[in-house]
Structure 1
Amino acid sequence: MSPQSSAVRPGPAAESLTDEELARGLVAGDEDCLAVVYHRWSAMVHGMARRSLGDAKEAEDVTQQVFLGVWRGRRGFRPERGAIGGWIVGITRRRIADALSDRTRRLHLLAAAGSSLALADRVARKSEPVLDRVLVLHELARLPAPQQRVLRLMYYEDLTQTQIARRTGWPLGTVKSHARRGLHQLRRRLQDDDQADGRADEQADHYT
């Protein structure tokens, strides 16, 4: 089931179903019911995400994740615990919390990698959080595999260095070394990117 298929306009008969009928059809795996659920609640979900995240693209991503979650988790819906609308609101709140947590991890990683005030100011002023994520993931992917693994476990799974040592089977000193070297290289590369952006801006100003 893809997000695009949930956006197909349902037929008039399906649109007239009650919430209870929709819930039964959804649990049974009826994609027409999913389409109705999407059209009936997607504006509410997107509005919640936009207000909480303040970013239209992230809100769109969360909306798609919510309805993928609705479809994949449909067998877990229990009508005796509440209406389907309330269930969708609960999923939406969890996806928003996940998005905010991901944003915090990205900022923590950037802050750890770039301690200079110039880089911190650049991150704070950036209007498109998705660009931050792409930048960090791109530079992270260039690191040696052990350093990548340690930093991903630290900042994307919130593990301590002791927990990482247990997870990987590496000595704690090795984990600390990989973390230190990885952050040093990531800091240097992000600062190089920042300086390159500054030079590009200066060149653009020269020709305007």
Structure 2
Amino acid sequence: MPVHDEPGADTGELAQALAVGSTDALAEIYRLWSSLVHTIALRSLGDPADAEDVTQQVFVSAWHGRHTFRPEHGSIQAWLVGITRHRIADLRTQRYRNHRNLQAVALESAATPPVTDDAEWAQRLLVVHELERMGDPRAAVIRMAFLEDRSHDDIAEALGLPLGTVKSHIRRGLLQLRERLKEVDRVSP
């Protein structure tokens, strides 16, 4: 396989070789674009160890998803940047979940007065259940906005989402919760 000296070189042959499973092609793609992937990850995450992990995950994902690359839709470089953004978002989501779980454990262990009203307890459980059913990122956005009292801008930055998407998740999530609470009220004695 010819060696490409720069990312602007003919990558069509390189893409075809990767698609048919050439590990040499993967090695060449890594040589050409690993520093770009690492730089994006480092700037987004701020942690060199996380950036290294994301870089490795990107190229593993590229290998496993090599059959999905379509040169007519964009360059290898653009494809790798897209994979990088997804891996960064995955890591941020994982970080958030870990943080949320630690906070939940801390809140449970704190001395809080027990809920004595069964209806209030049931309603709290329902909200928790509905947030779990909602799934991320919507549930994460709702938790960050209302339980952590974070601004829309802060949530967008923390989760790597556009501001409009954060606002839409909040609006739709609250509507979903309201409808579910209304349903429960209708069937409750």
Identify the TM-score tier after normalising by the shorter chain: 0.5 to 0.7
The TM-score normalised by the length of structure 2 is: 0.54
- The 5 Å alignment of 1:75-94 reads 75-94=67-86
Consecutive unaligned residues in structure 1, runs of 5 or more: 1-10, 117-159, 166-208
Consecutive unaligned residues in structure 2, runs of 5 or more: 109-127, 134-189
Match of 2:31 in 1: 39
**Closer/same/farther in 2, CA of residues 163 and 47 from structure 1, 3 Å limit:** closer
Equivalents in 2 of 1:92, 1:26: separation in Å?
18
Paired AA for residue 13 in structure 2: E
**Closer/same/farther in 2, CA of residues 164 and 85 from structure 1, 3 Å limit:** closer
1:161 aligns with 2:150: no
The TM-score normalised by the length of structure 1 is: 0.49
Match of 1:106 in 2: 98
Equivalents in 1 of 2:93, 2:130: separation in Å?
22
SS in 2 for 1:29: coil
Match of 2:3 among 10, 14, 32: 14
1:64 aligns with 2:56: yes
Paired AA for residue 78 in structure 2: G
% identical equivalent positions: 46
> How much has 1:55 moved relative to structure 2?
0.6
> How much has 1:49 moved relative to structure 2?
0.5
> How much has 1:162 moved relative to structure 2?
5.6
Range with greater deviation from structure 2 (21-30 or 107-116): 107-116
Match of 2:43 in 1: 51
Paired AA for residue 40 in structure 1: L
Task: Note the aligned Cα RMSD (angstroms).
Answer: 2.5
- Note if contact 1:50-1:59 (Cα within 8 Å) is conserved in structure 2: yes
Equivalents in 1 of 2:37, 2:77: separation in Å?
10
| Matched positions, count | 112
| Moved >6 Å (runs of 4+) | none
Equivalents in 2 of 1:74, 1:81: separation in Å?
14
Equivalents in 2 of 1:31, 1:18: separation in Å?
18
